[in-house]
Chains A and B, each alone.
Chain A
Amino acid sequence: MDNFEPVIVAFCCHYCAYTAADMAGSQRICYPANVKIVRVPCSGRVDAIHIMKAFENGADGVYVAGCLEGDCHFKNGNIKAARRVAYVRKMLDEIGLNGERLEMVLMSAGMGEHFAETARRITEKIRKLGPSPIKPAALSGAGVSRGAEAHT
Chain B
Amino acid sequence: MITAERKPLDELIGYVRPYERILLVGCNECVTVCAAGGRKEVGLLASALRMSLLQGGKSIDIKEITLERQCDPEYMEELVAHIGGVDAIMSMACGCGVQEVARRFKDKPVFPAVNTKFMGASERQGVWAERCQGCGDCLLGLTGGICPIARCSKQLMNGPCGGSTKGKCEISPDVDCAWQLIWDRLKELGMTDRYEEIMPAKDWRTAGGGGPRKIIREDLAE
B60-68, B108-116, B177-185, B202-210: which lies at the A interface? B60-68
Q: Which A residues have a C-beta under 8 Å from some C-beta of B?
A: 47-49, 52-53, 55-56, 91, 94-97, 133-134, 137-138, 140, 142-145, 147-149, 151
- Determine whether the beta carbon of A145 is less than 8 Å from that of B61: yes
What chain B residues lie within 8 Å of A140 (beta carbons)? 57
Interface of B is mostly: helix
Query: Pick the contact of B46 from A47, A134, A143, A147 — CB < 8 Å?
Result: A147
Contact sample, A vs B, 8 pairs, CB 8 Å cutoff: A49-B47, A91-B48, A134-B54, A137-B55, A137-B57, A142-B54, A149-B42, A149-B43
What are the 4 A-B residue pairs with the smallest beta carbon separation, nearest first? A147-B64, A142-B59, A95-B52, A52-B47
How far does the alpha carbon of A125 sit from the alpha carbon of B13 in the complex, in Å?
29
Report if A149-B54 is in contact (Cβ < 8 Å); known contacts: A53-B47, A95-B9.
no
- Count class of interface residues, chain B: 20 to 34
Q: Is B50 an interface residue (CB 8 A)?
A: yes
- Determine whether the beta carbon of B48 is less than 8 Å from that of A52: yes
- Determine whether the beta carbon of A95 is less than 8 Å from that of B48: yes
Report if A49-B8 is in contact (Cβ < 8 Å); known contacts: A138-B54, A142-B59, A149-B64.
no
Q: Is B40 an interface residue (CB 8 A)?
A: yes
Kindly provide the distance from the CB of B91 to the nearest chain A CB, expressed in whole angstroms. 15
How far does the alpha carbon of A47 sit from the alpha carbon of B43 in the complex, in Å?
11
Q: Is B96 an interface residue (CB 8 A)?
A: no
Kindly provide the distance from the CB of A11 to the nearest chain B CB, expressed in whole angstroms. 16
Most A-side CB within 10 Å, residue of B48, B54, B58, B82:
B54
Q: Is B151 an interface residue (CB 8 A)?
A: no
Q: Please, what's the 1-or-0 string for B23-54, where 1 marks a CB less than 8 Å from any CB in chain A?
A: 01000000000000001101110111011101
Kindly provide the distance from the CB of B49 to the nearest chain A CB, expressed in whole angstroms. 8
How far does the alpha carbon of A143 sit from the alpha carbon of B58 in the complex, in Å?
10
Report if A48-B54 is in contact (Cβ < 8 Å); known contacts: A142-B59, A147-B62, A148-B82.
no
Kindly provide the distance from the CB of B86 to the nearest chain A CB, expressed in whole angstroms. 12
What chain B residues lie within 8 Å of A144 (beta carbons)? 50, 54
Known: A52-B47, A142-B58. 17 other contacts (CB 8 A): A49-B44, A52-B43, A52-B44, A52-B48, A53-B47, A56-B47, A91-B44, A95-B9, A95-B52, A142-B57, A147-B43, A147-B64, A148-B63, A149-B43, A149-B65, A151-B40, A151-B43
How far does the alpha carbon of A148 sit from the alpha carbon of B55 in the complex, in Å?
23
- Determine whether the beta carbon of A96 is less than 8 Å from that of B52: yes
Query: Pick the contact of A95 from B42, B51, B58 — CB < 8 Å?
Result: B51
Q: Is B174 an interface residue (CB 8 A)?
A: no
Q: Is B10 an interface residue (CB 8 A)?
A: yes
How far does the alpha carbon of A93 sit from the alpha carbon of B64 in the complex, in Å?
23
What chain A residues lie within 8 Å of B65 (beta carbons)? 148-149
What chain A residues lie within 8 Å of B60 (beta carbons)? 145
How far does the alpha carbon of A143 sit from the alpha carbon of B8 in the complex, in Å?
25
Q: Closest residue of chain A to B56, judged by CB?
A: A137
- Determine whether the beta carbon of B8 is less than 8 Å from that of A149: no
Report if A147-B63 is in contact (Cβ < 8 Å); known contacts: A49-B40, A56-B50.
yes
Kindly provide the distance from the CB of B166 to the nearest chain A CB, expressed in whole angstroms. 31
- Determine whether the beta carbon of A149 is less than 8 Å from that of B39: yes
